[in-house]
């Protein structure tokens, strides 16, 4: 029997391992992306679609519901991501202190929310902040409020509740990445700084923050992508209300496709707005992060 060239054999074997996963990724990610783009160039009810060119994209700019959903999503992004990342860094620095007692317990408590399902915690927050909910009762009994606050039916406070909820859920998750990075920092760097008489603040800003930069970049980008896709929380805490005050882009896509008379073409155009945002913001953040890194070198 003729022996197969071992080099060729190894080549074939390698592709054998990766071919099925590659095809599945193509089928479930790239094919839908292409389809969504094709859909975004057509319009019609349900499956009766006809080609309309860029009309759906033009419609985006004059659609008040879309503009509002975009504003809400960006607001959540701009307020929530920095607050959470800063809080996560702060916690990780405090809880990385070896002399601190009960640090394991504190870490677990801050991390525990990230174990809960998004729907489950959203429902808990919905009831915490309802009109006759416990938050109102506590604030009334402390005389901070004189009458119950309608948190979820007030356009401003409903947004705040969503931001508080997301921050509660994800701060501990991000803290873990910072803790793991801090544990990799050589303690001698700090000892050297102590010898030089550096203050705690100086050590934090001149040593810790620059060393954490890659993790800051990573958590900021993943949180940005996550927030741009925000869906479960507004859906289950406020149903996007009051009015459209907390409706996000993902929720609008869902509504356009499955709640109202399906308009898949326009919904696909809206979804490309998220794609555009993800790409633009990721590039922007990588650029900013990269430039700062060069500067600090």
Which of the residues 85 through 124 are near another protein (CB under 8 A)?
A: 91, 94-95, 97, 100, 105-106, 109-110, 112-113, 115-124
CB of 82 to another protein, least distance (A): 18
Q: CA 27, 29, 35, 39 torsion: positive or negative?
A: positive
Instruction: Report the residue from 225, 241, 242, 289 that binds another protein according to the rule CB under 8 A.
Output: 225
Q: Which is nearer to another protein, 235 or 245 (CB)?
A: 235
Query: CB of residue 106 vs another protein: minimum separation in angstroms?
Result: 5
Subset of 177-196 contacting another protein (CB under 8 A): 177, 180
Q: Does 231 bind another protein (CB under 8 A)?
A: yes
**Shortest Å, Cβ 123 to another protein:** 4
43 strand-pairing partners = 50
Please give the C-alpha separations between residue 71 and each of 121, 244, 246, in angstroms, as whole numbers: 24, 11, 10
β-strand partners of 50: 43
**For the purposes of burial, counting CB atoms within 10 Å of the CB of 194, is it exposed (0-12), middle (13-18) or buried (19 or more)?**
exposed
**Is the CB of 136 or the CB of 245 nearer to another protein?**
136
Residue 54 main-chain phi, psi, to 5 deg: -90, 15
* Residue 125 engages another protein in binding (rule: CB under 8 A): yes
Handedness of CA 82, 85, 91, 97 (dihedral sign): negative
- What would the x/- binding string for another protein be over residues 262 to 281, using CB under 8 A? --x--xx--xx-xx--xx--
How far apart are CB 196 and another protein at their closest, in Å? Answer: 19
The DSSP symbol for 196 reads T
DSSP codes joined into one string, 33-46: HHHHHHHHTEE-ST
Three-state secondary structure readout of 197-260: CCCHHHHHHHHHHHHHHHHHHHHHHHHHHHHHCCCHHHHHHHCCCCCCCCCCHHHHHHHHHHHC
Could you tell me which stretch among 5-13, 76-84, 185-193, 285-293 binds another protein (CB under 8 A)? Answer: 5-13
Per-residue mark of binding to another protein, 30-59 (x: CB under 8 A):
xxxx-xx--x-------x------------
- Residue 260 makes contact with another protein by CB under 8 A: no
Residue with tokens 């033009």: 58
CB of 77 to another protein, least distance (A): 13
Site for another protein (CB under 8 A): which residue of 257, 285, 289, 292? 257
Count of residues of this chain found to bind another protein when the rule CB under 8 A is applied: 86
Report if residue 4 touches another protein, rule: CB under 8 A: no
Confirm or reject binding of residue 65 to another protein (CB under 8 A). Answer: no
Closest distance to another protein from the beta carbon of 269 (Å) = 11
- What sign does the dihedral 60-64-65-71 (CA atoms) show? positive
Report d(CA 69, CA 250) in Å as an integer. 9
């Amino acid at each position: 029997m003729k022996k197969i060239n071992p080099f060729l054999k190894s080549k074939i074997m390698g592709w054998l391992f990766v071919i099925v996963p590659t095809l599945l990724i193509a089928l479930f990610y790239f094919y839908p992306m292409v389809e969504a783009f094709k859909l975004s160039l057509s319009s019609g009810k349900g499956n009766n679609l006809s080609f309309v060119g860029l009309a759906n994209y033009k419609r985006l700019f004059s659609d008040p519901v879309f503009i509002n959903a975009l504003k809400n999503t960006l607001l959540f992004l701009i307020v929530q991501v920095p607050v959470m990342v800063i809080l996560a860094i702060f916690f990780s620095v405090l809880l990385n202190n070896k002399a601190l007692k009960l640090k394991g317990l504190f870490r677990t408590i801050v991390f525990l929310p990230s174990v809960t399902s998004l729907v489950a915690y959203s429902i808990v927050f919905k009831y915490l902040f309802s009109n006759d909910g416990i938050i109102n009762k506590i604030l009334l009994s402390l005389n901070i409020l004189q009458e119950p606050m309608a948190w979820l039916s007030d356009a401003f406070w409903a947004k705040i509740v969503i931001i508080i909820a997301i921050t509660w859920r994800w701060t501990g998750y991000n803290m873990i990445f910072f803790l793991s990075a801090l544990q990799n920092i050589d303690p001698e760097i700090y000892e050297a700084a102590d010898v030089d008489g550096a203050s705690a603040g100086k050590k934090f800003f001149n040593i810790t923050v620059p060393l954490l930069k890659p993790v800051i970049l990573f958590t900021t980008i993943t949180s940005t992508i996550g927030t741009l896709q925000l869906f479960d929380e507004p859906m289950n805490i406020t149903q996007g209300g009051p009015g459209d005050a907390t409706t996000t882009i993902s929720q609008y896509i869902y509504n356009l496709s499955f709640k109202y008379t399906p308009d898949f073409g326009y919904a696909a155009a809206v979804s490309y707005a998220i794609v555009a945002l993800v790409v633009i913001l990721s590039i922007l953040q990588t650029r900013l992060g990269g430039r700062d890194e060069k500067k600090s070198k």
